[in-house]
């Protein structure tokens, strides 16, 4: 398949994974006593409510074309929360921050199981093999996207989710200074992503994606349907 077809398959899966991540933050916040996301209409599966013009649209498109179709990544508009509303500030902050990551980790095996299920269905319905193979390819993207979103958001760089846990592991005075790094968070990420010094550190942090993704593909490989779309998988 050409780059446009690949992009059209990958984009909906990435969007769903990002929306699920943000919905989980909002739902967890509501359970912890903060109704902000609900009151602002952000506790919804409607992707339009979660779209950020740059993070959700421009960045994935630019990364995909800049990498000649080998890489796509993005983010949704962060769900607004008011930690002061949590019944227990520290506990609520940690739960809400990790809710999105936990959701992506859960979606990873769900996508893998769907690959298997689609493969078994294809064996029963040979005329539907091509369509089911396309859906399998989308679920492959789902495995990878959700692993990437989970591991990436665990980076202890403010304001990413991992920083909300890291700050509680530091002495109070250090934690305050650490959170101030949030104003430089984007710059730090750019250094990690685009410089010769940062890239090895970033790739080392993201190694679990390669390991877990590879193991998952080995597990589901026998269930991939034989079609033109499945060429190169595994």
pLDDT in tens, 32-42: 999 999 999 99
Rounded to an integer, the average pLDDT of 178-204 is 87
> Tens digits of per-residue pLDDT, 89-128?
999 999 999 999 999 999 999 999 999 999 999 999 999 9
> pLDDT averaged over the chain?
89
Per the CB < 8 A criterion, the answer to whether 149 and 212 are in contact is no
Active site residues: 22
- Among 25-34, 128-137, 186-195, the range scoring the smallest mean pLDDT is 186-195
Q: What angle do CA 201, 207, 213 make, to 5 degrees?
A: 155
Per the CB < 8 A criterion, the answer to whether 22 and 103 are in contact is no
* Tokens at 129, concatenated: 């093999």
The predicted structure's pLDDT at residue 233: 57
Q: Name the pTM for this structure.
A: 0.89
């Amino acid at each position: 398949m050409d780059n446009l077809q690949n992009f059209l398959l990958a984009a909906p899966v990435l969007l769903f994974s990002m929306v699920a991540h943000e919905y989980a933050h909002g739902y967890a916040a509501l359970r912890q006593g903060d109704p902000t996301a609900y009151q602002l209409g952000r506790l919804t599966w409607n992707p339009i409510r979660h779209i950020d013009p740059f993070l959700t649209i421009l960045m994935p498109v630019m990364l995909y074309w800049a990498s000649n179709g080998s890489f796509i990544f993005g983010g949704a508009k962060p769900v607004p929360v008011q930690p002061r509303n949590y019944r227990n500030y520290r506990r609520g902050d940690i739960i809400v921050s990790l809710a999105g990551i936990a959701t992506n980790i859960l979606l990873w095996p769900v996508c893998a199981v769907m690959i298997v299920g689609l493969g078994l269905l294809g064996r029963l319905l040979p005329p539907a093999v091509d369509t089911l193979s396309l859906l399998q390819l989308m679920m492959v993207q789902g495995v990878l996207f959700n692993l990437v979103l989970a591991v990436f958001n665990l980076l202890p760089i403010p304001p990413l989710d991992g920083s909300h846990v890291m700050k509680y592991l530091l002495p109070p005075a250090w934690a305050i200074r650490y959170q101030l790094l949030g104003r430089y968070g984007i710059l730090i990420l750019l250094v990690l992503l685009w410089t010769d010094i940062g890239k090895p550190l970033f790739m080392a942090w993201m190694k679990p994606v390669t390991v877990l993704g590879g193991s998952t593909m080995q597990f589901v490989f026998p269930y991939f349907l034989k079609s033109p779309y499945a060429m190169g998988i595994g």
